[in-house]
Amino acid sequence: MIDSPDALKELLPNVSRETIEKLAEFREMILSDDQNLISKNDRNFIWTRHIYDSLRLAQFINSSGNDIIDIGSGAGFPGIPVSLLFSSQNRVFLCENRSKRALFLNKCIAKLDLKNTEVIPIKAEKIENKKFDIILARAVSQLNHLLSISYNISKKNTTLLLHKGVHIDEELMQATKYWNFTHVLHENEREKGSYILELKNVIKSIT
């Protein structure tokens, strides 16, 4: 499949043409930025890998009025594609402590007119007095560490939607030594070994 807006439309027919046009602007910003926001090999797969992978989360965000945080947002995946779909119904926060990446994300927010989206320019574990309904993370850290750094910003009913790879079974086994939770694994039909891990009811284990 050739990497293109039409390829994304074929994979996700319900994504509007207006959203695809905004995603095309976002893609061009990534390619024209002087940072190495994505790997050289991935530059040819932004539509069918990075954007598609981000928008797979849409099926699990089925309510409005949420505060959503993308931990370690980096180049803006999955936070900015999610924001383009949901920012009119939800607030989206892009957590990124690296100053140049945070500056890039703020440029994207301004250019794409994402009114309900903002950057949090510190590490997730440093956030105070703020909790979120949905927590996203892609290519950030192993599960046990992710749960540790996100626990202070989680509510009792927070849902975590985490992109994970082939080592997910090992990560789950390690995490259950320290945490109790319910989870569902959603495999990517296009890429074996690529998952969205949906976690709920996360609490620290009593040791």
Please tell me the pTM assigned to this model: 0.95
CATH superfamily, with its number, for domain 59-204: Vaccinia Virus protein VP39 (3.40.50.150)
Is residue 207 pLDDT above 60, yes or no?
Answer: no
Q: Which residues contact 145 (CB under 8 A, 6 or more apart)?
A: none
Residue 176: its pLDDT value, please?
Answer: 95
Domains of the chain by residue range: 59-204
Residue 72: its pLDDT value, please?
Answer: 96
Residue 206: its pLDDT value, please?
Answer: 65
Q: Could you tell me the CA-to-CA distances from 74 to 85, 108, 139, 148, 201 in Å, in that order?
A: 19, 12, 10, 20, 27
Quick count: other Cβ atoms within 10 Å of Cβ 9? 15
Over pLDDT 70: what percentage of the chain?
99
* pLDDT tens column, 167-196: 999 999 999 999 999 999 999 887 888 999
Q: Mapping DSSP to helix (H, G, I), strand (E, B) and coil, where does residue 163 land? A: strand
Over pLDDT 90: what percentage of the chain?
85
Is residue 36 pLDDT above 90, yes or no?
Answer: no
* pLDDT band at residue 152 using 50, 70 and 90 as cut-offs: very high
**Of residues 10, 34, 30, the one with CA closest to residue 20:** 10
Is residue 46 pLDDT above 90, yes or no?
Answer: yes
- Measured CA to CA, the distance from residue 53 to residue 179 in angstroms comes to 27
Query: What angle do the packed helices 17-32 and 99-111 form, to 10 degrees?
Result: 140
Q: What is the mean pLDDT of residues 26-33?
A: 95
Is residue 104 pLDDT above 70, yes or no?
Answer: yes
- Measured CA to CA, the distance from residue 182 to residue 205 in angstroms comes to 13
Is residue 79 pLDDT above 60, yes or no?
Answer: yes
Is residue 202 pLDDT above 80, yes or no?
Answer: yes
Which DSSP letter does residue 133 get? E
Q: Look up tokens 């999955």; give the residue.
A: 78
